[in-house]
């Protein structure tokens, strides 16, 4: 993952150059959001799934950067006063605190659209059908039937009591959809078979839920120093979470079960998927 962080940072730096134009502050805010650390989990999943199908590394890196741009845009907007009203992200002040609310909104908008510009470029893949499928699937994962829809449900959860089924659907959309795309993008780039697609989709489904359960645990048990962001936010907002509904121990057991189940979905790939299997362990053991 450390190698992925380095490679993706280089690619992001290349795709987000500085400028002397009057709108320079916009690009500074975009770079601040994207080059400020992070696990780069989604790019890692995309790059590793691409290796299963011998996808050209340069092409996979472009797609990985596009996914990270979508993720970073979502974090910028999530942190705004109208959403989670967070002042800390990845151990640093959030974009709207460093710049202002309007610049934060526009930086997120610009990152969102840049992601699709990158995927539509022939440099990402020589086959226009593959590029169109990447664009279509990322649009689904990021839009109203994916990440954005999940964020709406998350806002509703501040005012309405959600049961376990509703919370699971919320997180499947808000967090899981982009993780699922990251896993399947390698199969799209590599023109994989349907069984291979489905194996990666099943892996991503369980991995995404395990990831969110651990996020809920860290919000309760972690510290801002460990997580790089404010903790106890869900408790303060009165949101139902996996932890509030299941309790700490049952939630932790559920995350472990999902991680094991996720790894089992990858048996179709043999030892070529060992790093993806290991990331399932990482997701439940992480402290940030």
Name the one residue in this structure whose structure tokens are 């992480």.
286
* Averaged pLDDT, 181-200: 95
* Averaged pLDDT, 47-69: 97
**The pLDDT of residue 237:** 67
**The pLDDT of residue 226:** 65
* Averaged pLDDT, 58-72: 97
* Averaged pLDDT, 12-29: 93
Cα separation, 256 vs 185, in Å, equals 25
pLDDT tens digits for range 25-44: 999 999 999 997 788 999 99
**The pLDDT of residue 234:** 67
* Averaged pLDDT, 49-64: 96
Q: What are phi and psi of 111, to 5 degrees?
A: -65, -40
pLDDT tens digits for range 201-240: 999 999 999 998 998 898 888 777 766 666 677 666 667 7
Window from 48-52, 274-278, 284-288 with minimum mean pLDDT? 284-288
The pLDDT confidence band at residue 172, using thresholds 50, 70 and 90, is very high
pLDDT tens digits for range 101-138: 999 999 999 999 999 999 999 999 999 999 999 999 99
pLDDT value at 1 more than 90: no
**The pLDDT of residue 205:** 93
**The pLDDT of residue 130:** 97
161 versus 98: the higher-pLDDT residue is: 98
* Averaged pLDDT, 175-185: 95
The pLDDT confidence band at residue 195, using thresholds 50, 70 and 90, is very high
Query: What sign does the CA torsion over 36, 259, 83, 249 have?
Result: negative
Cα separation, 32 vs 51, in Å, equals 29
Domains of the chain: 2-285 (1.10.600.10)
- In angstroms, the first-to-last Cα distance of the chain is 14
Alpha helical stretches, state H, the chain? 2-15, 24-34, 41-51, 57-78, 95-98, 101-120, 128-142, 147-156, 164-171, 177-189, 194-221, 224-227, 233-237, 242-246, 248-264, 274-285
Question: Is the pTM value of this prediction over 0.75?
Answer: yes
Using CA atoms, how far residue 95 sits from 5, 41, 67, 171, 174, in Å, is 21, 21, 19, 24, 20
Average pLDDT across the chain, whole number: 92
Which long-range contacts does 270-276 make (Cβ < 8 Å, 24+ apart)?
272/51, 272/52, 273/48, 273/52, 275/48, 276/45, 276/48, 276/49, 276/183, 276/203
Going by the DSSP 8-state scheme, the letter that residue 126 receives in this structure is S
Window from 153-162, 172-181, 249-258, 261-270 with minimum mean pLDDT? 153-162
């Amino acid at each position: 993952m450390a190698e992925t962080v380095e490679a993706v940072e280089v690619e992001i730096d290349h795709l987000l150059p500085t400028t002397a134009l009057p709108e320079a502050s916009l690009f500074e805010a975009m770079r601040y959001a994207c080059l400020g650390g992070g696990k780069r989990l989604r790019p890692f999943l995309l790059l590793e799934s691409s290796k299963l199908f011998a996808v050209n590394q340069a092409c996979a890196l472009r797609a990985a950067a596009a996914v990270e741009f979508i993720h970073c845009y979502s974090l910028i907007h999530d942190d705004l006063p109208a959403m989670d009203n967070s002042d800390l992200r990845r151990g640093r002040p959030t974009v709207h605190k460093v710049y202002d609310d309007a610049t934060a909104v526009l930086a997120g908008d610009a990152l969102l659209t840049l992601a699709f510009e990158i995927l539509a470029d022939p440099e990402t893949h020589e086959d226009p059908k593959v590029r169109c499928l990447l664009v279509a699937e990322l649009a689904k994962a990021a839009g109203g039937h994916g990440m954005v829809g999940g964020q709406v449900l998350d806002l509703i959860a501040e005012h309405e009591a959600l049961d376990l089924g509703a919370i699971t659907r919320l997180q499947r959309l808000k967090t899981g959809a982009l993780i699922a795309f990251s896993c399947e993008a390698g199969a799209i780039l590599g023109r994989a078979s349907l069984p291979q697609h489905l194996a990666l989709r099943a892996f991503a489904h369980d991995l995404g839920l395990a990831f969110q359960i651990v996020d809920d645990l860290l919000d309760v048990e972690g510290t801002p120093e460990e997580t790089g962001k404010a903790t106890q936010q869900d408790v303060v907002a009165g949101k139902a979470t996996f932890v509030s509904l299941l309790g700490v121990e049952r939630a932790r057991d559920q995350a472990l079960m999902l991680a094991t189940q996720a790894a089992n979905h990858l048996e179709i790939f043999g030892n070529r998927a060992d790093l993806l299997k290991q990331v399932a362990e990482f997701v439940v053991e992480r402290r940030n």
